Homo-oligomer: A and B are copies of this chain.
């Protein structure tokens, strides 16, 4: 049974009024694959050049706070910590890892996934003039702590 649908299949925002408030944490990742020349453009000697990674980082942080405005059935919540990191991996990929924290009644998986996705889209935006074929891939939950369903950790990368 999908929890977001009632018995008639109608969407609703799941009632969590009576759930306990506990410490929650979630980590998600997204990868952006690009041409080696594109990655070379955004970093130089191994260091990101100019504001590129900073813009993506901040876009991810701000998007995490907007999750409940984007995902219709997400509960509004008060994130207590957000971290978004980008790193060049190999010669043609950037990995984004987003981590969100909360003391509340619902998990923060969607916030971490939204932060990673929007950071990836922001990277795409800044590089699209030189590389339209970039690919965002493997957006997934890495880890989740807290709440009734307990600890979750993803397997190895697919």
Contact = CB atoms under 8 A, between A and B. Distances in A.
Given A51-B9, A135-B158, A140-B136, A17 B125 contact: no
B125 A71 contact: yes
Contacts of A144: 132
Interface residues of A, number: 90
Interface in A17-76: 17, 23, 30, 33, 41-42, 49-52, 54-55, 57-59, 61-63, 65-66, 68-76
Number of copies: 6
A141 B133 CA distance: 7
21 contacts: A1-B130, A2-B52, A2-B130, A5-B52, A6-B83, A11-B52, A11-B61, A15-B81, A17-B23, A33-B158, A58-B59, A59-B70, A62-B69, A65-B69, A70-B70, A70-B118, A70-B121, A71-B125, A73-B126, A117-B117, A133-B141
Among A85, A121, A134, A149, the most chain B Cβ lie within 10 Å of the Cβ of A121
Contact of A61 (B3, B72, B114, B124): B72
A28 to B, nearest CB: 10
A18 to B, nearest CB: 8
8 tightest A-B contacts by CB? Answer: A9-B50, A15-B81, A136-B139, A13-B82, A54-B54, A11-B51, A17-B80, A5-B50
A136 B47 CA distance: 28
Interface string A69-104: 111111111111111110000000000000001111
